[in-house]
């Protein structure tokens, strides 16, 4: 189908082959390349559409947002234009992140303004909850561990999103990662001086945001970074209860949301969420790092000193990087750190966080290890794990090993599916025959790694370095290899069916007649 973008068109649906709208006569090929397929939705000032780029090979999908204010008052038109331009500039500035849609184009056509974005295939968290039910505590912790680092990235670039909610978070089908969309309400000139019941983003002369998700200071036109923390907290309540803010009760005196009686979660997570949802900015977490710190350390002080680090008796015979003495010392140091933090808390001091990441025990262990191996000047040594510690942490539920040094490890035939290895070092690591289904290797170094006969279906390799990697017989079906370096990589017999990879990338790799190409055909490339 071809969909007409003329806002006044009465019958915008047309045949896919049509060049002009049968109803109003408007051209259907936008800028001589984009063919709109169907509408996706409409917010306060922009309507979004699914389209195909007919200029690029394969006619990939994209999202087109058209400036279409909901009102005609002068201040509405002015604000809509400013926000539309700001969204384009913001995406251009921060869009180089795997959890933010890339800006592809921004232009004016026939007196209409358009913004073209990367299409993110998947379901929103709102749809996910409606289809699969509410989250468990573990699911919410996992959600926060993935979104808070993204929020930190955005805030470090002096951007406040101002419209975080379940409908603006998509779980990407390709790799299962969460993507934050709709930067139409962003504020990129940030001042840290804080000063309707629908589910739609409000666009008025007074406030921008979604009522119930936006905190009081944002609705009073004084958004700060902590405003996004509040919205993230409300999103967590939705994930736990499937109730939107309008379905919840509030304390008439304080304005606090009343939700604790609806959930079954630990006292610790309750405490963290309550602080995220403080009506007063002064009492709320001020940054994503503060929330990450609170989630990481507080509930696990006892566990840190009770041997979650791998004990000496567990040392594998084939481990070449194990040092039993240093491990014992680290265990002792971690116990001392935990004791010091307890003492500080007993005196009323603030809790100490050990950095970003998931909150499963294995993740906390690694942060504690990193802290315990600091040098005398307080700077951290390189984060490196041996094979046994890596597998022990994975067995305890940890799935995030981003930016770790895992080079030269022997991990033959192991199960590390759906794991985050983003920006990790895996040079010459032996993963022969392992299960790495849906794992994230974005920006990771896999130079000369052994990935022979490995299950890499739906794995994410955007901007990864696979130079010289042995991928013979590997299953790379539906893998995302955009901008990955495949120079010298051995793809003989590899299955690339449905993989996102270009002919140019494959031309510098080794292939043979057993290689299955992205189109499903077998043969040399």
Closest CA to 100 of 170, 165, 42, 148: 170
Number of C-alpha atoms within 13 angstroms, CB side, residue 1?
A: 12
| Ranges of each domain in the chain | 2-118, 122-286, 296-382, 401-525
Looking at residue 357, its pLDDT comes to: 36
Looking at residue 45, its pLDDT comes to: 63
Tokens of 304: 């840190």
Tokens of 488: 């010298």
- How far apart, in whole angstroms, are the C-alpha atoms of residue 356 and residue 351? 15
- Three-state SS at 77: helix
Looking at residue 209, its pLDDT comes to: 73
- How far apart, in whole angstroms, are the C-alpha atoms of residue 54 and residue 88? 22
**From 163, 228, 400, 465, active-site residue:** 163
- Rg of the chain on CA atoms, in Å: 25
Q: Which residues, at least 6 apart from 498, have a Cβ–Cβ distance to it below 8 Å?
A: 477, 478, 518, 520
Whether the Cβ atoms of residue 441 and residue 419 lie closer than 8 Å to each other: no
Annotated binding site: 65
Looking at residue 195, its pLDDT comes to: 37
Tokens of 54: 């007919």
Q: How is residue 202 annotated by DSSP?
A: E
Q: Which one of 2.60.120.920, 1.20.120.420, 2.40.10.170, 1.10.510.10 gives the CATH number of domain 122-286?
A: 1.10.510.10
Cα dist from 258 to 249, 385, 396, 426, 446, whole Å: 5, 43, 33, 47, 49
- How far apart, in whole angstroms, are the C-alpha atoms of residue 441 and residue 402? 9
Q: Please give the mean pLDDT across all residues of the chain.
A: 78
**What are 276-299's pLDDT values in tens digits?**
999 999 999 999 999 988 886 333
Annotated binding site for ATP: 65
317 counts as catalytic: no
The stretch 45-74 carries a mean pLDDT of: 82
**CATH number attached to the domain at 2-118:** 3.30.200.20
Q: How many CB atoms lie within 10 A of CB 240?
A: 22
- How far apart, in whole angstroms, are the C-alpha atoms of residue 444 and residue 18? 45
Beta bridge partners of 36: 51
The stretch 363-384 carries a mean pLDDT of: 40
Helices (H), 95-179: 125-132, 137-156
- The yes or no reply on domain 401-525 and CATH 3.30.70.640 is no
Q: Same fold for the domain at 2-118 and the one at 401-525?
A: no
**What are 125-176's pLDDT values in tens digits?**
999 999 999 999 888 988 998 899 999 999 998 888 888 999 999 999 888 8
Pick from 87-91, 176-180, 205-209, 300-304: least confident = 300-304
Query: Which backbone phi and psi does 34 adopt, to 5 degrees?
Result: -100, 120
């Amino acid at each position: 189908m071809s969909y007409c973008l003329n806002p006044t068109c009465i019958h915008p649906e047309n045949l896919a082959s049509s060049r002009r709208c049968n109803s109003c006569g408007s051209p259907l090929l936008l800028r001589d390349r984009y063919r709109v397929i169907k509408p996706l939705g409409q917010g306060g000032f922009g309507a979004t559409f699914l389209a195909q780029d007919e200029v690029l090979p394969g006619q990939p999908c994209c999202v087109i947002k058209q400036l279409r204010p909901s009102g005609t008052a002068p201040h509405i038109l002015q604000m809509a234009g400013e926000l539309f331009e700001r969204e384009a500039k913001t995406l251009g500035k921060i869009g180089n992140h795997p959890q933010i849609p890339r800006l592809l184009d921004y232009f004016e056509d026939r007196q209409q303004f358009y913004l073209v974005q990367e299409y993110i295939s998947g379901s929103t968290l709102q749809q996910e909850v409606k289809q699969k039910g509410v989250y468990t505590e573990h699911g919410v912790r996992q959600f926060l561990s993935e979104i808070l680092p993204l929020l930190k990235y955005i805030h470090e670039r002096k951007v406040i999103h101002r419209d975080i909610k379940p409908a603006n978070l998509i779980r990407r089908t390709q790799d299962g990662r969460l993507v934050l969309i709709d930067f139409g309400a962003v504020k990129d000139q940030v001042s840290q001086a804080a000063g309707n019941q629908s589910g739609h983003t409000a666009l008025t002369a007074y406030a921008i945001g979604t009522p119930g998700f936006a905190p009081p200071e944002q609705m009073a036109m004084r958004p700060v970074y902590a405003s996004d923390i509040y919205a993230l907290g409300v999103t967590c309540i939705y994930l736990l209860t499937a109730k939107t803010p309008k379905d919840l009760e509030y304390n008439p005196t304080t304005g606090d949301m009343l939700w604790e009686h609806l959930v079954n979660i630990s006292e610790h997570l309750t405490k963290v969420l309550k602080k995220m949802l403080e009506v007063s900015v002064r009492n709320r977490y001020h940054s994503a790092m503060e929330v990450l710190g609170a989630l990481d350390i507080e509930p696990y002080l006892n566990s840190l000193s009770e041997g979650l680090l791998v004990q000496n008796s567990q040392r594998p015979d084939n481990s070449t990087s194990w040092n039993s003495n240093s491990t014992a010392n680290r265990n002792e140091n971690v116990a001392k750190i935990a004791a010091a933090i307890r003492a500080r808390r007993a005196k009323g001091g603030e809790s100490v966080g050990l950095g970003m990441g998931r909150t499963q025990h294995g993740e906390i262990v690694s942060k504690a290890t990193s802290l315990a191996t600091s040098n005398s000047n307080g700077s951290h040594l390189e984060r490196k794990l041996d094979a046994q510690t890596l597998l022990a942490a994975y067995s305890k539920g940890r799935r995030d090993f981003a930016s770790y040094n895992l080079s030269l490890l022997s991990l033959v035939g192991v199960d590390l599916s759906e794991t985050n290895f983003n920006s990790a070092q895996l040079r010459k690591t032996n993963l022969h025959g392992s299960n790495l289904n849906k794992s994230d290797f974005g920006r990771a170094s896999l130079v000369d790694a052994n990935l022979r006969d490995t299950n890499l279906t739906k794995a994410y390799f955007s901007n990864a370095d696979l130079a010289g990697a042995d991928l013979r017989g590997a299953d790379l079906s539906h893998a995302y290899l955009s901008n990955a370096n495949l120079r010298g990589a051995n793809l003989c017999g590899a299955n690339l069916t449905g993989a996102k990879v270009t002919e140019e990338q494959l031309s510098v790799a080794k292939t043979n007649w057993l290689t299955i190409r992205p189109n499903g055909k077998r043969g040399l490339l």
